[in-house]
Structure 1
Amino acid sequence: MKRNLFMCLCLASSLHGWAQVDISAYFLENHGFDTNFNYDARQTGNVSGDVINEVYGWTNETTATYTVAGTFAYNPEVTFNNSFALPASGYEGSEGGALGLTTGWGMRLVYSQSVTLPKGTYRLSSAYYNVGTSGAGNSLLAWLPDNGTATVSDVKNFPVQSWKTDELIFTLTAQTTGKIRIGFAANEGVGSANHAKILVDYVNLLCDEMDKGGLETALSAARAAYGDGSGVYAEELKAAIDEAQTVYEDEHAAVTDILASTQRLTEATQTYQYKNASPEHPLTMTSRIVNPNFEDGTTGWENDGMLAQTNTSFPGKSGTTYLERWVNIGSKVPDVGIRQTLEGIPDGKYCLRAAVGNIQQKGTNSTVNAGEKQTGVTLYAGIYDMPVDTMKAHKDLYFTVVDGQVTIGFKAENATGNWICLDNVRLYYLGGNTPEDYAAYLSRYADDVRKELQAKHIQSAVRQAVEAAIEAAEKASAAENPDEKAMAEAKVALDEAVTAIEASAAVYDVLADALRYAGQVKNWYEEDEEKRGKMETAIQAAQEVWENTEQTEEQIRSAAQALQDVTQTVDKKVYTAQWLMGDVNDPDNAYYIGRTRQSKNWILFWEKGYGENPSVFTCGNHTIDIDEVLRNAEIAFDFYTDSLKFIRRGRSKTDTYKMVIRLRYDPSAWEASGSGVDDLIGLLTLTPWAAPSRNWQTLYHEIGHCFQYQVHCDNGNQNGWMYAPGNGNGCAFWEQCAQWQAYKIMPADQFNNEWFDGYLQNVHKHILHESPRYNNYFIQDYWCYKHGMDFMGRLWNQSRNPEDAVEAYMRLTGITDSEFNDEMYDCAARFATWDIPALEEYGAAKVDGRPLPAMLKVADNYWRISPAAAPENTGHNIIRLNLPRRVGTRVSACFEGLNRQEGYRVKNATYAEWRYGFVALLKDGSRVYGDMGKSVYRNPKDTIFFDCPVDCKRLYFVVSGGPKKYWRQVWDDNDANDEQWPYQVKFGNTNRYGSANLPDETGIGEVEMDVSVPVVSVSGRTLRVEPSPVAAEVRVAALSGVCVADFPCGVSAVETTLSPGFYIVQVLSADGRNLVTKKVVVR
């Protein structure tokens, strides 16, 4: 703190030079790494990897987790990361310790301290000892000014088991703020074994020359504070001023004398200001708060869910940034908060001022509260707090400090508002404590401890001791003439009481957690009489200990352990691979067994960035309900097990082990990756953004992958498509099935998602094509329609390497290639109107949204499928047709398969087969299917007929492509080698939807049946249909075939407004006859 005060006052002036004076102690804390060792002299053996420690006095800027960083006392009995032994002493025989650093793979271990240096010339030096077997690596010793040119080390090699010094020289032409950095950077491509493992003995700052600017500034500040000398402590300040003036006037004063004199004068000035502060003349101490206006986000604060915001909505905003938490109007913000501990501040009375807000908004962007004042938000300082219940540009909280530190903060717990805000935090010192002030503080503290005592379940002996401490504090604070010594002793006793409450409650909390979880396990196995009975007996014994507060700490711990032991014999086991999860028994590891929550079949690990056991899991803008994650994971587990039969209870490794979820702490990244670990159990990793996305579809999808992996775990490498069919880049069926699995849990979303349009655009492709692998999630419904809901589980479990899904399907169902192709036509015909029980309800609204496949008009009224939409193996086209002019009429299709047609991809032309036919959707929702036609390589032409039902509502022509002998679709990200089966077709008494039912395609204008047929016209953007006694319905479609309007017509004229473009207008009679088909343009 002395260094900080001095740094704030150091300014530049005239130069006086002295060579190489060590000024480290004035600017750097723990520069010799001799204080608060991470590994002291009692340490023995090897310190293993993946532990990056905080180093006392230094800011840890390391983002790497590999492999060791920390301070060591010199000790030949110690190694780290399997290094040589540490030396017995430091550089040139110095005592103490050093900073140990070892890493690899391009990672950096970085520590720094912020300093403000006066004008002058400096030397930054360090000494390294390498206890590794390699010398490779890079020193990160550096001077990094906030503005200006950095000076960095060029050391790139460290001699093995030898000392190496490092020195940087830099000159400052004015006072400069920046960082002094130390660290080690590994080279890319090799691990820690191929790098130096260094000990940094010290980071010293020496001055070659320095000015007296800082002393001059300190003198000016002291004289300004001294004023007329009438204040308390004026005599002492005057003495400090005189001493500093003497040093200032001494041309030969040493650098250390200048620095020491400046520091003493600064402290005397501050003491004078403290002693003369009062409520009428408060001393501003906001500088003791790091980042009080949040212009650097939440730097310097411990944040639990508050978010930085730069808009201008908050009336109390100061500067560019404020903090907020907002949810939709009518909702309530989650439990969030932010805090900062101020240390080394003088005891006394204070005022904490802040701009705050807590409202339920009246409307969008409103800053006015709706209804009663809101609750659940407080501004606090230590044991003092006050409610935040509206918008305030400043709110003042008065409080007392008695032990040199206080935690200030803002928190929401069960808040009722939808918008809370915080900005512009300020701190004022109002003077020292009187005995009465101390007594008031002590009385309040005793009340707080009493509330804590009432809220906690603790041992009787502890309760009695705490009650005695409270009584003593109340007595001391209520004395007519409060005795400061007695109050100080009472305060210490209350501190000890709080510690005792926390310790006793913590022991009982362990037992409470064991009881809570044991109750869950009992409920999970309610139908297993043996397991339930075992749990009930163990729970009863532990409950008796819980209720008996006369128990010792050891008895409570033993009861908790006994219950946990029994629970473990009933509950499933947890498997954690160290290569993937690290050491889950280490609290400093990213994933720690103490930061988990479990359900019957899952365990969720969260990274330590979320905290040890937060009430709300917040990461950046994301709030995650991990209980909801587990609840939905259980839904998926049961459905994929019991309905889809991917695994079989009693025959799966999931009978023994729980599947694993890893919740990463990353506010911006997206990761959702499900699979498994070590051929044993499913595992998935999520970031907070991904976890609940798409109404939990992402979670269900990734759990689908876990179950696909589990098939492999339970059956061996020959099952579960743990290979790429055809030696391609992957297995598209993994993604297709995971999508389908998710949508079987949430069927209403199967047709309403970001992938459905992509499915419609790609139905001509192979059902296992790699490109639309996230879109092709309907073929599974057809196969389950044919063979039962559990067929997909059977398919996965009984697949065999090197089959793909189609080959496995044909083998399991015992069908031939020809029969499979027949099924693919049947599938396409049913998909035209979603005529499958699992799809019919939700697909009904999507029937008319299917785009027409692109086709080319060629000679003799034929439509030729475009190369962009030609069917591949197992692919299909669904072509909507006009209803015939008179329903009940026979329609026809002259089909011709095009062998070796130029412009299309051809692989095995002689294998060519096409299947095709008519599908009618009737007004009552039923379907009529025409006979399936078939053309082959040698006989590619045929004509088929279909009697269109009288009550037909929609008419389709369906074509599927398939070779007479199936071959695999290889994932090679190359469409150029995917086969196509082109064709052309000519219709009779019908036509491609939107084209006239005439032999001559030029008749696409207006088709009139008689004088009663209505006239269709366009004026501007208005489509008008004139009155007609026979007309009943108008349908308007885009040229793509998508219906854009459908409305009744008849004896009165009707109009509708259209956007600019080309349209096909069709007027139908009440019995469905086509009266008029007309192409119109709206300009």
Structure 2
Amino acid sequence: MKKKLLVSLFLASQLPCFAQDDVSAYFLVNNGFDTNFNYGAELKGNIAGDVIHDVYGWTNETTATYTVAGTFAYNNNITFNGSSPLPSSGYNGSEGGALGLTTGWGMQLVYSQSVTLPKGKYRLCAAYYNVGSASAGNSLLAWIPDNGAQKSSDVKSFPKGVWKTDTLTFTIDARTEGKIQIGLGANESSGSGSHAKILVDYVKLFCDNVDKSELESAIFSAVDTYGDGTGVYSEELKKVIDEAQNVYDNESASPIDIISLTSRLNEVEQIYKYKNASDDNPLNVTSLITNPSFEDGTIGWDNQGFSTQTNSYFPGKSGSTYLECWVSRGSKVPDVNISQNLKGIPDGQYRLRVASGNIQQKGSDSSVNVGERQTGACVYAGFYSMPADTMKYKNLYFTVVGGQITLGLRTENATGNWVCLDNLMLYYLGGNTPENYAEYLSKYIEYIKNNMLTKHIHAKVRENAETAIAEAEKLIASETLDEKAMADAKVELDSVVTNINASDAVFADFAEAIDYAEKVRGWYEDDVNKFNKMDAAIEVAQVAYDNVDLTAEEIERATQTLENVTKVVDKKVYTAKWSMGDVSNPNNKYYIGRTRQSKNWILFWEKDYGENPKNFVCGSHNIDVDEVLRHAEIAFRFYTDSLKFIKPGRSQTDTYKMVIRLRYEPTGWEATGSGVDSKIGLLTLTPWAAPSRNWQTLYHEVGHCFQYQVHCDNGDQNGWVYSPGNGKGCAFWEQCAQWQAYKIMPDNQFTNEWFSGYLSNVHKHILHEWPRYNNYFVQDFWTYKHGMDFIGKLWNESKNPEDPVEAYMRITGITTSQFNDEMYECAARFATWDIPALESYGASKIDSRPQPAMTKVDDNYWQINASVAPENTGHNIIKLNVPKTATTVSACFEGLNNEPGYHVINPTYAEWRYGFVAQLEDSTRVYGSMGKSTYSNPVDTISFECPDNCKRLYFVVSGGPKTYWRQAWDDNGDNDEQWPYKVKFGNTNRYGSPNLPDVTAVESVSAEDDVPSIYVSDGLFHVGQASSASDVRILTLSGICIKSVSAGSAIDIPLEPGIYIVDVRQTDGNCLLTKKIVVR
């Protein structure tokens, strides 16, 4: 027979067939949109916007959320997005329904179905009905092959109130995989009101001619499977082979006959293979598993914690990719799970062969286990399982009853550090015998006893379960197995499981409500009224929970009663629909049922994490949401109680909880803190970002939430919601958020990734936009001066349009000159971190500070380079050579006005402040007097008595204009004022350069007998009586005379500490003496 069939094939005609046959039913599902409506015929009214539905049979490829997409039963009592009523019937008077689409602003609503088409010529059709008032829009009807050019619609408008057809023709030269696409695209410049609102119906695929090669292949395969004709179901297979042969031999066979016989022959051959499968003749049905070797990642799988890996360390790897969950050696993997539900599969016996492993690695990259076999990981199929405890292939045998099974690998309290999975192979071993059925029921009963009856359920449900189990046990213990009775028993056991799950769900909801109520009670231990109210409600609830004789309705009422009391005591939840959607909708990305709460926070997780996952796994990230909330609470309390950003009793946080959105993003990073609707703080995190930098990222973003809360609570623009200086933002946002975080974790303030950036940018304005993540130290100086709560006060009392410096000066009541004095003090203290909050943490980092770049110029002066010249409020800290013993050191300073090569904006506002700082061996700090130069008096000399046992010596210079102006965030460094200078040192020098002699040791220019005696003692300048008349003038180093006296008699003149020039002249103007003096 087999030989005869083959001969017949070769004699058949190879001419193609031509017709126009509707082959939609063989390739498309729900192509008429006539089932599983999103909006049924009973509905009335208008369907509002921003609802994009999945459509039965179609893949939703839409990324837009604007405005409506879904299937409607024909019904002229309904509209969508303000359209006119729908027609009462479809294209050509058809019944059923259509796909409604409306969008705008360049968005696309797209649905598709994957198909594999044989070689042939095709026509793809669709019909549209416009119920809108505009006609614009783009049909997205298309044939898109996986390889090759696609064929797309050119329809750009839709007439109103009539059906319009759309047809594409395309030819396929070989069997091709691709997809059929439908949809509506909008133009970029207008919304939905300016576009058509269309109904899509009559999506049809016609075949005008089709090649017979696939039918030929199907006949060859079926003949080979038929063999000698002795197998079960061989007669049925032979009959369809003959029918297919007749169609193949018929030169006039239509495309529908060719396609239908090809499909039916493949189906019957598969039935034959199933009926003849056995343990000795297994049928490979691995194709029932989507992506069984993970070459497409985890597509088709429900993945909770596994990651793809491409290295070759796993011995069971097949192809280029396998799955793993890995932690460092000595650690243990978390609870993870990956599974796939196989539906519509034949009942019977199966063998699952899989490469899996669970080990504690012996060494790095090792696939060898150390110690005893590891536990806690298993491969499973339904309630059948086997341990995954080696790195070898294993077989799991199981029975399918009911046409579906869930298989996968899970860990629970696993002891290994590396769990692997790859290359699942599934084999069908034949149908179920009565003995197989009995064994299945026995396994099912064991599962119910061990996993279901251990739950807290209603007494009646438990009683019914035990009765059904007893009846099933009698059946399987009988000498004669009654297959129908066992099937009925299986139905009863399924009902038992359903009822147990329902009862467990009721009590589980109650237990969750009690657990949360107990948390709320604990949060308000200090509030007697709230605590007592919760305590009483919990006591009543616990009695109800323990009473398993109560009905489900009674338990639900008790749950609601407790939740009502809890809501009265607990803070409320505020969400904005524009930022989170409808949180009451379980299909929304964020849903109130997918939350976890603490006293001051509520955390929403995205839908892709699952409804209530044991572990929150996203790609390679395993995030502990309880830890997220714990750290958010730490920040909340600290920013409230210590920093006082908000004032309990006068804050929106008294009423509302701040909100956390945990995004499902396996590889991306997002960490943003702000708020919504001038109401409450909102924090958004991805799992990568949440715990990063030892939770510093979270503390930082919570800091932004509190900054926003200042604005909410004050009901105005306090808190720099505005951008000072009309720039792009306020750098103080980031600076303060950084500082807020490091006050929670002060040991990280000097060891983080931003500290070196701080040191290299201290010359810039303290509010400069570029190092805004680095400048988080000035707040420590301000809180040192005014108390820990001062930064909170600064935020709360800021006023538009002032920047933080202006607010600081106003609130503290100081002038710009006094502020500049403070900025010098700040720089001087930061030289050795001489602030109580910083001293111990910064001690080891004092010598990390880079030396400011300077150039040696004439007369042994050092000139600051333009790259580090101080800007407004910026500073330089110059490290100097330390004298071996107590020594007077000096510095001749000259501010450089209008110096070429520097940024010059307002040169006449120039002011410089400078001085010496010494740190002794016992860590004592000694500060010299502060010098000051200005635009009109740029030159001065100061000295400092450097003590013995000096360990470090610095010269500090700060720049500050006499009139302050704002540092705008404009990302432009060319308009940032610089205050250049040069300086020469005496008895010291820049660290590592040879010391210079004291610049104040200047000998007399002349010393005649008629010159009066001149000396300094105890801050007094002494002028002795001269033998002849002369005048004595005292000048600053810049040549300004500050005192003039006659030397006719002795006189004492008090002078401020500093260096001066003494000029003695005869009455005729002849110079007798010029000398520098130092007043200490």
Structure 1 length as normaliser, TM-score?
0.90
- The 2-side partners of 1:784 and 1:826 are apart by 14
Aligned equivalent of 1:327: 327
Q: What do the CA deviations read for 1:600-619 (whole angstroms, capped 9, x no partner)?
A: 00011111111111111112
Q: What do the CA deviations read for 1:243-292 (whole angstroms, capped 9, x no partner)?
A: 22222222222222223322332222112111111101101111121111
- The 2-side partners of 1:53 and 1:339 are apart by 26
SS of the residue corresponding to residue 825 of structure 2 reads helix
How far did residue 518 of structure 1 move?
0.6
How far did residue 903 of structure 1 move?
1.6
- Structure 1 residues 204-219: aligned runs within 5 Å: 204-219=204-219
Aligned equivalent of 1:731: 730
Answer yes or no: is the 8 Å Cα contact 1:861–1:999 preserved in 2: no
Answer yes or no: is the 8 Å Cα contact 1:766–1:872 preserved in 2: yes
- The 2-side partners of 1:690 and 1:574 are apart by 24
Answer yes or no: is the 8 Å Cα contact 2:889–2:998 preserved in 1: no
Answer yes or no: is the 8 Å Cα contact 1:861–1:1000 preserved in 2: no
Aligned equivalent of 1:151: 151
- The 2-side partners of 1:948 and 1:1000 are apart by 13
How far did residue 870 of structure 1 move?
1.0
- The 2-side partners of 1:33 and 1:503 are apart by 34
SS of the residue corresponding to residue 915 of structure 1 reads strand
- Structure 1 residues 61-140: aligned runs within 5 Å: 61-140=61-140
601-610 vs 667-676, which moves further? 667-676
SS of the residue corresponding to residue 353 of structure 1 reads strand
- The 2-side partners of 1:25 and 1:403 are apart by 26
SS of the residue corresponding to residue 520 of structure 2 reads helix
621-630 vs 299-308, which moves further? 299-308
- Structure 1 residues 936-951: aligned runs within 5 Å: 936-951=934-949
Aligned equivalent of 1:375: 375
How far did residue 13 of structure 1 move?
9.7
- 2:967 matches 1:958: no
Answer yes or no: is the 8 Å Cα contact 1:303–1:339 preserved in 2: yes
Aligned equivalent of 2:992: 994
Aligned equivalent of 2:721: 722
Aligned equivalent of 1:430: 429
- Structure 1 residues 628-643: aligned runs within 5 Å: 628-643=627-642
Aligned equivalent of 2:182: 182
Q: What do the CA deviations read for 1:121-149 (whole angstroms, capped 9, x no partner)?
A: 00011111222232222222111111222
Distance 1:188 1:991, change over 3 A: same
Aligned equivalent of 1:340: 340
Matching residue's letter, 1:20: Q
How far did residue 295 of structure 1 move?
1.0
Segments of structure 2 that go 5 or more residues without pairing to the other structure are: 1-11, 1000-1080
- 2:712 matches 1:713: yes
- The 2-side partners of 1:995 and 1:185 are apart by 73
Aligned equivalent of 1:1020: none
How far did residue 941 of structure 1 move?
1.0
Distance 1:666 1:84, change over 3 A: farther
How far did residue 482 of structure 1 move?
0.7
Matching residue's letter, 1:85: P
- 2:747 matches 1:748: yes
Answer yes or no: is the 8 Å Cα contact 2:139–2:183 preserved in 1: yes
- 2:300 matches 1:300: yes
How far did residue 1000 of structure 1 move?
13
Q: What do the CA deviations read for 1:783-827 (whole angstroms, capped 9, x no partner)?
A: 000111011111111111111111111111111221111111110
Answer yes or no: is the 8 Å Cα contact 2:895–2:934 preserved in 1: yes
How far did residue 529 of structure 1 move?
0.7
Answer yes or no: is the 8 Å Cα contact 2:128–2:200 preserved in 1: yes
Distance 1:472 1:281, change over 3 A: same
Answer yes or no: is the 8 Å Cα contact 2:985–2:996 preserved in 1: no
Matching residue's letter, 1:385: S
Aligned equivalent of 1:594: 593
SS of the residue corresponding to residue 892 of structure 1 reads strand
Q: What do the CA deviations read for 1:663-703 (whole angstroms, capped 9, x no partner)?
A: 11122222111111111111111122211111111111111
- The 2-side partners of 1:956 and 1:574 are apart by 55
- Structure 1 residues 274-673: aligned runs within 5 Å: 274-392=274-392, 394-673=393-672
Q: What do the CA deviations read for 1:516-553 (whole angstroms, capped 9, x no partner)?
A: 11111000001111001111111112111111111111
How far did residue 381 of structure 1 move?
1.1
Answer yes or no: is the 8 Å Cα contact 1:131–1:161 preserved in 2: yes
Aligned equivalent of 1:973: 971
How far did residue 85 of structure 1 move?
1.9
Distance 1:23 1:153, change over 3 A: same
Answer yes or no: is the 8 Å Cα contact 1:105–1:192 preserved in 2: yes
How far did residue 422 of structure 1 move?
0.9
- The 2-side partners of 1:323 and 1:63 are apart by 29
Answer yes or no: is the 8 Å Cα contact 1:112–1:181 preserved in 2: yes
Aligned equivalent of 1:912: 910
- The 2-side partners of 1:102 and 1:353 are apart by 49
- The 2-side partners of 1:956 and 1:717 are apart by 45
- The 2-side partners of 1:185 and 1:301 are apart by 31
Aligned equivalent of 2:873: 874
- The 1-side partners of 2:998 and 2:569 are apart by 78
Matching residue's letter, 1:505: D
- The 2-side partners of 1:647 and 1:784 are apart by 17
- The 2-side partners of 1:691 and 1:135 are apart by 47
SS of the residue corresponding to residue 364 of structure 1 reads coil
Q: Which has the larger radius of gyration?
A: 2
- The 1-side partners of 2:387 and 2:193 are apart by 56
- The 2-side partners of 1:210 and 1:45 are apart by 47
How far did residue 455 of structure 1 move?
2.3
- The 2-side partners of 1:128 and 1:302 are apart by 37
How far did residue 987 of structure 1 move?
0.3
How far did residue 293 of structure 1 move?
1.2
Aligned equivalent of 2:241: 241
- Structure 1 residues 790-939: aligned runs within 5 Å: 790-884=789-883, 886-939=884-937
- The 1-side partners of 2:59 and 2:582 are apart by 25
Q: What do the CA deviations read for 1:427-454 (whole angstroms, capped 9, x no partner)?
A: 1011111111111001111111222332
Aligned equivalent of 1:1006: none
Answer yes or no: is the 8 Å Cα contact 1:20–1:206 preserved in 2: yes
Matching residue's letter, 2:972: N
- The 2-side partners of 1:333 and 1:857 are apart by 61
Matching residue's letter, 2:447: D
- The 2-side partners of 1:718 and 1:169 are apart by 62
> Considering only aligned residues, what root-mean-square deviation do their CA atoms show, in Å?
1.6
812-821 vs 822-831, which moves further? 812-821
Distance 1:301 1:14, change over 3 A: farther
SS of the residue corresponding to residue 662 of structure 1 reads strand
Structure 1 runs (4+) deviating above 6 angstroms are: none
- The 2-side partners of 1:890 and 1:912 are apart by 29
Q: What do the CA deviations read for 1:942-987 (whole angstroms, capped 9, x no partner)?
A: 1111111110011100011111222211222112111111111000
Matching residue's letter, 2:44: T
- The 1-side partners of 2:82 and 2:478 are apart by 63
Matching residue's letter, 1:891: V
Distance 1:707 1:555, change over 3 A: same
How far did residue 119 of structure 1 move?
0.9
SS of the residue corresponding to residue 127 of structure 1 reads strand
322-331 vs 439-448, which moves further? 322-331
359-368 vs 714-723, which moves further? 714-723
785-794 vs 229-238, which moves further? 229-238
How far did residue 15 of structure 1 move?
4.2
- The 2-side partners of 1:51 and 1:328 are apart by 45
SS of the residue corresponding to residue 580 of structure 1 reads helix
SS of the residue corresponding to residue 21 of structure 1 reads strand
- The 2-side partners of 1:377 and 1:999 are apart by 78
Answer yes or no: is the 8 Å Cα contact 1:13–1:212 preserved in 2: no
- Structure 1 residues 13-24: aligned runs within 5 Å: 14-24=14-24
Segments of structure 1 that go 5 or more residues without pairing to the other structure are: 1-11, 1002-1083
- The 1-side partners of 2:851 and 2:595 are apart by 52
Answer yes or no: is the 8 Å Cα contact 1:912–1:962 preserved in 2: yes
Aligned equivalent of 1:1070: none
% identical equivalent positions: 70
Answer yes or no: is the 8 Å Cα contact 2:15–2:251 preserved in 1: no
- The 1-side partners of 2:546 and 2:841 are apart by 55
SS of the residue corresponding to residue 904 of structure 2 reads coil
